[in-house]
Chain A
Amino acid sequence: MIGTASRRLPAQTGELVDRSRPLTFRWDGRDYEGLQGDTIVSALLAGGVDVFSRSFKYSRPRGVLSATFVDPGCTVQVDAEPNVRAAHRRLAAGMDVRPQNVWPSLRFDVKAANGLVGRFLTAGFYYKTFIKPQRLWPAYQQVLSRFASGGVTSRQNVHGYYDKRYVHVDVVVAGAGPAGLAAAVAAADAGCSVLLVEEEYELGGHLRYSGEASLSMLSELRAQVAARPSIEVMTDSVVTGRYDDNWVAVMQRDVGGAIERLVKVRAGVLVAAPGLIERPYVFAGNDLPGVMLSTAVRRLINLYAVKPGERAVVLTANADGDAAAADLTRVGVDVVRVLDGRAGETIRRATGRGRLQAVELEDGTVLPADLLVTATGWTAPTSLINMAGDRPVWNPTAARFVPSGDGLPPTVLATGGLVGDGSTEELIAHGRAVGALAGDRAEGRAGGSVPELAGEPHPAMFRASTHGFVDFSEDVSSKDVVAAAKEGYDSSELVKRFTTATMGPSQGKLETINTIAVLSEATGRGIEDLGTTVWRPPYAPISLGALAGRVFEPTRVSPMQSWHEEHGAVPLLAGQWIRPDHYGAAAEEARNVRENVGIIDVTPLGKLALSGPDVPKLLNLVYVNKWSKLAVGSVRYGVMCAEDGVVMDDGVTGRLDEHRYLMSTTSSGAATVWEWLENWLQTAHTDWQVHVTPVTTAYASINVAGPKSRQLMQRVVEGVDLSTEAFGYMKVRQGRIAGVDDCVMWRIGFTGELSYEMHVPASYGLHVWEALLEAGDDLGIQAFGVEAQRILRLEKGHLIVAQDTDGLTRAHSAGLGGMVKLDKDDFAGKPELAWHERDALATAPRLVALQPEDPSAVPPEASQIITADGGILGRITSSRMSPTLGHGICLAQVDPAVAAPGTVVTIRLPSGSDITATVREDLAFVDPEGVRLRA
């Protein structure tokens, strides 16, 4: 009768399950039935299942321990999602739930054999065993991956939709137990906007499962929250971290159609109200299914109406343990013995095959039982205040770490169980006072005082006379901690790293105190001296998908992009720009430019509109060459060097009228140059009258190149005399192109051909582009892409900054030394360039053109130029097969020793073979005299 709700209790006050809504789901290949409101684990327990996983190292069967998110034995696979916390996750109809980390099955696990050799898998086992020899590491990895826990992800999974949101609030309250709820209400009443974050699906914390009086207080608090619209509530959400300036990360699950949403909150004040986590007790057999914490028992009974066992032994050292015993008795569980920790009573061990069968007491009495409940103390999750600067201190009275109160900025406060103990009324009063103080601080007021919340006396109970697990996720026993201490790992941080205790999925929330307590026992040093380990973000696991979020990568396209796509352009990603690399045949596109006419979309070229009377001063400062005499209607090529003399950018700048200039930069350098100009103007020459306006995409830029380009221009340009005499090389004109006003055109020649670069108001880019193609149809016009342009410029010997230069290339080493005018008063990099010219010219590398002797050879870019004995003399910076000349052409940075024209150099190819090439007279392979571009 597997799958029936055999352990379901009659209706409990405050239960979350809806008995009118049964849900069917699968577990480990079989059908089960649960209720709406169940967690996966409560539904399975109700259906008679006790074991949900196998442990990490020894493959021991594990069941429910805490019945919370961090329950180490309750991690499962749900459909395609691995590592689901089944004691937290709400059951949904049709879920396919499977155990993970079992092989071949949950019931028969081959790895359980490790239990037999368990004594060999002691602390430091991995470090000691798998260190040497190094060549076996791949084999070790295969073995270890078998042991690693974790579910299965499919490579076919589509990337889920994850979300992100920014929130600005006055107060964030982390945790919605009684103190957190009261704090949120008080902060709202102080006039603040509040974000209340709760890890569970409902507000209330322990009030939800602590009897009718608590429930009535809870319903009042919930009503107060609901009545305040300035409180935003996020449930099933966790504050995972607190960072500088109260930047608070909240992970919100299953919301707004997204799997997870990372909420980035800028909070005025953060109130940490995480409550307390119940601490397990260390004894032999403490991981057997059937051994549970008192809060787990109370959750199962009161929230999910599940009977956790039939015959129970209860070890209690506090009121919650007493309440658990009372709950058990109330629902008909046979409580065979209650041991009082406050009176020094304890147990020795738990025994059973596969699950708990008996409890052995200190006097040797053996009590048959299927449920052992422990209530031996608490851990304060000091994580958030730790991240905010607090270093928690040991409170021996309450037997737990508490906030020190020092080191916190005024914008971080704590309340509730984290701070101390009290009745529900006292917790609420404390929360209210802290909330009011948070409100005051968020509003910049001093704020009032907060009542004391002291830690109640609690016996310091950590371990029985036997050894058991301190870390259930990592299978670390108290014996391992003792062994580590004996080997000299005698501090909390060292033991953690050596044994891996607290490093598993629950990240120390259940394990830290017991680890330190056992270490204290082994070393004789007090817990207060050992101190706790530092909690770091994230407090709860976050999927990588949530951290990555949706992909925001701005892309940029020109106004002609739709045409490029329709005409088969192969895209090239250049920075953020998507550009046509070619339209199918780059060499043919290049040849057509040499023979007829081609057009290329050069919109990404950086363009800056410069205006003002002091523009010439600015140009003289940022370019190495001279600009004072640039006439209206002319353009000039300029080179920029940084203050260290290294070539930074190049381009042409044209003077459109008296005080108006258009500067072009490389496309990759556009943003840098703009910032650089602003830097000079804002920091060094604040008195200059210059305005810099970026207009890169205000214009669509089209380069028309080829011997027939003037013919083409004559058909589309109005109002400009295009004759050589009227519009010569390096001149700029403004006019109308294809009916579009306000166009700028200049004659330059990056390709080495007669060429016009036109800058057209961008919205008309596609219109002008199509008009050019139409008008040039009989001239053999073809669009060409970036690759053809690169071939053409290389044939012409024109360098590309940052391709033919690098981070050390001074102007002279780029063949640009002649442009550097040291007789100017000042310009960027002048001192370095002066010293370079004086001291380093003879030894600095040079840019040369190389022609491989084998005409079919094209040495790949970055191939090295070597000496006879393999020393390096330089490298190829650009290389292509020239469609015009029919042989390979290269630019190279070389040692001056081999820079003289006619020198034959050896180039080592990546394949390892060598070829030879000759240094040419001129950088230009085609038309070195410049006849074509001046036509």
Chain B
Amino acid sequence: MIRIPCPHCSARNSAEFRHVGEAAPRPDPSTATPEQWRVYLYERSNPAGWTTETWFHTMGCRRFISVERHTVTNEIRSARPVGSTGPGPAEALSARGDAGSPDAGGQA
């Protein structure tokens, strides 16, 4: 299991984190074209090599961090608090553990 050198907590097993994915900056919603917006939502470069990606330290500091990782060797070059991006696309849906769980919120 690889270790993520969390800039807040020190190195921890990757199982403590959620891999959010390659960083994708959020376009200005007031001017974005559908094409631009969908690049933000869906298009990732997925390189075999160095990539800058966001991890969320779910079971630690609960901070979003930005990690430079080599996708072939898993070498990590840097890990720092996340810069200004946005939450990304299906963020919520991918993290949703148990869809269909029988409890909804209150209703109007």
Q: Is there any pair of Cβ atoms, one from A and one from B, under 8 angstroms apart in the complex?
A: yes
Residues of A in contact with B (beta carbons under 8 Å apart) = 243-245, 247, 266, 572, 574-575, 577, 579, 602, 604-606, 635-637, 640, 642-644, 646, 648-652, 664-669, 671-673, 675-676, 678-680, 682-684, 686, 730, 746, 748-750, 757, 786, 790, 793, 796, 798-803, 807, 825-826, 828, 830-832, 835
Q: Roughly how many angstroms separate A826 CA and B86 CA in the complex, as a whole number?
A: 13
Which residue in chain B gives the minimum CB-CB distance to A750?
B107
**The 9 nearest A-B residue pairs measured at CB:** A651-B105, A668-B101, A637-B108, A748-B106, A575-B98, A802-B99, A667-B103, A679-B87, A652-B106
Kindly list 17 other residue pairs between chains A and B, CB separation below 8 angstroms, not including A642-B90, A648-B93.
Answer: A266-B3, A637-B108, A643-B87, A643-B90, A644-B41, A651-B104, A665-B105, A668-B98, A671-B97, A675-B58, A675-B95, A678-B62, A683-B54, A683-B64, A793-B104, A800-B103, A826-B29
Rounded to whole Å, the gap between the CB of A1 and the closest CB of chain B is 56
Partner of A572, one of B18, B102, B108: B102
Rounded to whole Å, the gap between the CB of B98 and the closest CB of chain A is 4
Q: Roughly how many angstroms separate A635 CA and B108 CA in the complex, as a whole number?
A: 9
User: Contacts A244-B1, A831-B32 hold; do A682 and B98 have CB atoms under 8 A apart?
Assistant: no
Contact status A245-B108, CB under 8 Å: no
Contacts of A799 in B (CB 8 A): 104
- The interface on chain B, measured as residues whose beta carbon lies within 8 A of the other chain's beta carbons, has a size of 45
State whether the Cβ of B89 lies closer than 8 Å to any Cβ in chain A: yes
Contact status B103-A748, CB under 8 Å: no
Q: Roughly how many angstroms separate A132 CA and B63 CA in the complex, as a whole number?
A: 57
Q: Roughly how many angstroms separate A234 CA and B82 CA in the complex, as a whole number?
A: 42
Q: Count A-B pairs with CB separation below 8 Å.
A: 170
Contact status A602-B103, CB under 8 Å: yes
Q: Which of B53-108 contact A (CB under 8 A)?
A: 54, 56, 58, 62-64, 74, 82-93, 95-108
Contacts of A676 in B (CB 8 A): 87, 91-92
Contacts of A649 in B (CB 8 A): 92, 105
User: Contacts A683-B82, A826-B30 hold; do A672 and B95 have CB atoms under 8 A apart?
Assistant: yes
Contacts of A606 in B (CB 8 A): 105
Contact status B92-A642, CB under 8 Å: yes
Q: Roughly how many angstroms separate A686 CA and B82 CA in the complex, as a whole number?
A: 11
Contact status B63-A574, CB under 8 Å: no
Contact status B92-A672, CB under 8 Å: yes
Contact status B2-A245, CB under 8 Å: yes
Partner of A750, one of B30, B74, B95, B106: B106
State whether the Cβ of B34 lies closer than 8 Å to any Cβ in chain A: yes
Contact status B101-A749, CB under 8 Å: no
Q: Roughly how many angstroms separate A796 CA and B101 CA in the complex, as a whole number?
A: 19
Q: Roughly how many angstroms separate A510 CA and B63 CA in the complex, as a whole number?
A: 51
Rounded to whole Å, the gap between the CB of B85 and the closest CB of chain A is 5
Contacts of B86 in A (CB 8 A): 643, 680, 683-684
Rounded to whole Å, the gap between the CB of B57 and the closest CB of chain A is 11
Contact status A678-B89, CB under 8 Å: no
Contact status B1-A247, CB under 8 Å: yes
Contacts of A678 in B (CB 8 A): 62, 64
Contact status A679-B105, CB under 8 Å: no
Contact status B87-A800, CB under 8 Å: no
Rounded to whole Å, the gap between the CB of A509 and the closest CB of chain B is 26
Rounded to whole Å, the gap between the CB of B19 and the closest CB of chain A is 13
Pick the most buried of A572, A679, A683: most chain B CB atoms within 10 A of its CB: A683
Contacts of A750 in B (CB 8 A): 104-107
Contact status B29-A802, CB under 8 Å: no
Q: Roughly how many angstroms separate A746 CA and B56 CA in the complex, as a whole number?
A: 34
Which residue in chain A gives the minimum CB-CB distance to B86?
A684
Contacts of A635 in B (CB 8 A): 106
